[in-house]
Structure 1
Amino acid sequence: MAPLMKLSAITLDCPDPQALAAFYQEVTGLEPDPRSDAEFASLLPEGGPLLGFQRVDAYRAPTWPDPIVPQQLHLCFDVADLEEAEARLLELGAGRPDRQPNEERWRVLTDPAGHPFCVIAASPR
């Protein structure tokens, strides 16, 4: 039986779509969508879902791990070298919350708009 739906996009609310798209473009190497504008910007992965960023007035960043403003969702990225990836992401403007649930296997970081995301040490296959 064929699937009823196929994931076509993941969209994050933020105060500045162009800036957040630029951050994720730098860390993922994905190509920007030429139709991006000040209200909605996106990156186009080959064969995967579009990664979108939409402007929300009065945006409130998640306060993870404090649940006052829930994280809503988070993205996970496999990396070859956890220390190297974390250092590069911090250089590019990511934040690093004090709470790190399992620092040996993954790091919780935040993008410039405050969304938590994880970088995970890729398992050897």
Structure 2
Amino acid sequence: MATETGGPGSTLKGRIMCHAMWARDGRALAGFYATALGTAVSETYPDENGDEVAFAFYVNGAMYLCYTSESFTAPRWPEEELPFHMDFSFPDVAEAEKRLLEMGATKPAHQPGGGHWTVLLDPSGQPFCIHGTH
């Protein structure tokens, strides 16, 4: 049974402060998602050699961080299950899809949403879904 006083059995009340993703080009991926979400990359982080390898932007107080990884390979979706993916909502899904494709997303042939959502691949090849705002 959860208690409100802390200690064993207490209810945790954390919040997500950062969503981290990897890509061959973290700067480009951060720019893509920041633009899609109406913001801009606002912070960069260096590695031990001083090279910028992580790029951050914020939405509703949560940080989104995109890392550059030389060894990154995109998931082979839908053949492989995804450990996670993100869903976004837009007031005008058709317009959002058009703009996201112009920004470098691609639309795979496999569309399992039955018209309820659209799967796109971000510029690094990772799937994400777009929905209409309810």
Same fold by TM-score, threshold 0.5 exceeded? yes
Answer with 1 or 2: which has the greater Rg.
2
Instruction: Describe the SS at the equivalent of 1:31.
Output: coil
Once the two structures are TM-superposed, the CA of residue 19 in structure 1 deviates from its matched residue by: 0.7
Q: What residue in structure 2 maps to residue 50 of structure 1? A: 63
Of 23, 29, 35, the match for 2:44? 35
CA contact (8 A) 1:71 1:115 kept: no
Q: What residue in structure 2 maps to residue 96 of structure 1? A: 107
How far, CA to CA, are the matches of 1:43 and 1:32 in structure 2? 5
Normalising by structure 1, we get a TM-score of 0.86
Q: Which runs of 5+ in 2 are unaligned?
A: 5-10, 47-51
Q: Which runs of 5+ in 1 are unaligned?
A: none
Q: What residue in structure 2 maps to residue 13 of structure 1? A: 22
Q: 1:1-30 CA deviation, whole Å, 9 max, x = no partner?
A: 463422110001111111111111211112
Instruction: Describe the SS at the equivalent of 1:53.
Output: strand
Moved more, 91-100 or 35-44: 35-44
Of 75, 93, 102, the match for 2:86? 75
Normalising by structure 2, we get a TM-score of 0.80
CA contact (8 A) 2:26 2:69 kept: no
Q: How many residues align?
A: 120
CA-based RMSD of the aligned residues comes to: 1.7
Moved more, 112-121 or 26-35: 26-35
CA contact (8 A) 2:24 2:68 kept: yes
